[in-house]
Structure formats: structure tokens, C-alpha cells
Amino acid sequence: MTRNLPTLADIHCPELTQALRHKLDNKTKPLGSLGRLEDLALKLGQILGTETPALEQPQMVVFAADHGLAARGVSAFPSDVTWQMVENFLAGGAAVSVLARQHGLALTVVDCGVKHDFLAGLPEGAARPGLQVRKVAQGTADSSAQPAMTAVQCAQAVAHGQELLRGLPGNALLLGEMGIGNTSAASLLLARLAGLDIALCTGAGTGLDAPAVQRKTEVLREVLQRHASATAPLDALAALGGLEIATMVGAVLQAAHERRVVVVDGFIATSAVLVAHALQPLVLQRCVFAHRSGERGHEFMLQHLGVQALLDLGLRLGEGSGGALAWPLLKSACAILREMASFESAGVSEKSVTEPLAQ
């Protein structure tokens, strides 16, 4: 299954990194006074390979699919909400729709495996604006009874993500998702790939109360036991994951291959990066983590990957909403590098070098 995955090169160039640091250190400000915004600017320059990074034609892509495991009561909402929310995205009424409009992000919704025909009633070959159909199946199978996907379905979903990304313009990908039951898939992937107990990885998802979270945890423990031999990244993805997560994995790998900036939303999007990182560790060089989700397992994902998120607002909506909210920080970081004057160009005196006080 791995033979068609793109290879990644190390993007860390010592000469460029030194030039970026010098440029940031010589802006008209005290050294390091823009804090983590300077780290972000440095990273964006490294990803895009330039001292003057500019983010062009950013693409917010929402990957949607259904989960057979939802039949086990692991979500507070019925599966029909998946297709209903896709319609809400397309109508422009969802949170991510509003934020994408606000920030000038092109929004694409991808049907990776929703149990619904979004083209019903349209002429053959017709399309709907903002929707791409890359359906592998009518949702995954119930992973408590069998693998969520076959190896072929998983490989097809990953390939769809790569193909989709190759057809989109721009140099930045913002990850979004929709799928009732997908916090369960993300929790399972975290437990398996990070070697954590499932109780640490399982949260309320769409709003389960404490007893329901306990029942959800027991179901997920059963799933892990059933698929105990699925330990390799793609084997775990096929057995435990969702079609939208697998498609996201392909998109992340392709975006990283093309040196696009990958803006990672919350728990579900990070689970796709978790798999992509297990396949290609250099993926992380291209990723900016938008926020720390309020979903229980996300902090453990971030710790496992050794990364820090930009925002911590208690968000747990998904959809790509956190990525859209963090987007202005990326724009600001690039603008600082490109437009802020240096001490020399502005004619501003630099910090004085003083002799130490006499003892």
C-alpha cells in the first residue's frame, strides 16, 4: 500500500534559516519581542523556501464521511447529521463557511464516503459548486465487527486525497472534516499509534455525558482488541479509521510533497497527520497546528508529535474552524517578514552596547 506515496525531502536549509533569523532579529523591535509569531514566520519561510513568504490561494478542504461504528452509540448525534452538515457547508451556513468567507479561503467539501447522494436529481455528469465527490463507499463498516475499510478501500481513499490536492491551486492547505463518529476513529488511531490506553484518548465528542463517554470507551477498547494485529500505520488506518481521515492522509502527504503550508485543525485533522507522520516523519516540517482542541485526546496527540498549537480557545467543533481562526496569524507572520523595516532601512538606532557596572 505504500508504494505510491510521495517521498519528502528535508526542507531545513541552514543558509535560509540563518538568513531568516538575521532578518527577523534586525527588524525595528527588541530582539524576540514578537515571541512565537517570529517562530511562525521562520517556519513559513522555511516551508515556502523564501525570505519573503506570501500565502497564495489558500484552500480550506472539508473531508466528509460516515462511520459504521456510529451504530454502537458512540456519538450524541445520528449519522444523518453528516450529510445534513455537508448541505449546510455548501449553503454557506456552517461556522467554517462563515470563517472561510471572512478570511478569503476557498472552501471545498469532499464526499469521501457519506451515506447520501448529493448529485441525486441532477443530469448525468453534473456537478455542484464547492463539492467534489471522491466516494469510496457508503461510509465505513462497523469496526467493532470487522475492519472499517479493506486495504484496497484505504489505499483508494489515500490516493483520492493525493489526486484531489494535485488539482487545487495555491500554496496553503487548511484541513477540515465532518463525520458523525469520527472522534472515535481518531481516538482509536491515537491509542494504537501512540501506544496509549484508550481511556486517555476518549472524550465527549459531540457532547456525550460522563456515563456515555464510559460506554464509548468500552466500545473502543473492544475495537482495539479485535484489531490487535493492525499495528502498521496503514493497517491501523484501514482497521480503525475513517474514509475522510484516510483521504486527508493522502492530501497531507501530497501537500507536504509540494511544500505547501498545511494548517492542521483539531483532533480529527491531527489524527490524519499522526498517520501521515508515521509514514513520512518529515510531514511535520510542513505543518502548522492551529489550536489545541477541547477534545480530551488532542493534547496527547500534540505531545506525541512534539508540537505546540497556536491557539487554545477550548474549541471542539471541527470543520476546519480552528484553522480558519488561526489563519490571520499566518498572514501576519508573513507580512512581518516582507514589510517590517529593519533598523538600517528605517534609520532607527539599535540597542546600545553598554559596559558592565564597576564592582
Residue 216 CA to residue 237 CA, distance in Å, equals 19
Q: C-alpha distances in angstroms, 151 versus 157, 235, 237, 246? A: 10, 7, 9, 11
- Select from 77, 89, 161, 142 the least CA-distant residue to 118: 89
Residue 299 CA to residue 201 CA, distance in Å, equals 9
Residue 226 CA to residue 213 CA, distance in Å, equals 20
Is 319 part of the annotated catalytic residue set?
Answer: yes
Contacts of 70 (CB under 8 A, 6+ apart): 78, 79, 180, 181, 184
- SS3 label, residue 181: coil
Q: Which residues of 147-176 are buried (b: 16+ CB within 10 A; e: fewer)?
A: bbbeeebbbbbbbbbbebbeebeebbbbbb
Q: Strand locations in the chain, DSSP E?
A: 59-65, 106-113, 131-133, 172-178, 261-264, 287-289
Residue type for position 305: L
- Across the strands, what pairs with 65? 113
Catalytic residue chosen out of the listed positions 295, 319, 350, 355: 319
59-65: strand order across its sheet = 131-133, 106-113, 59-65, 172-178, 261-264, 287-289
- SS3 label, residue 184: helix
Catalytic center residues: 319
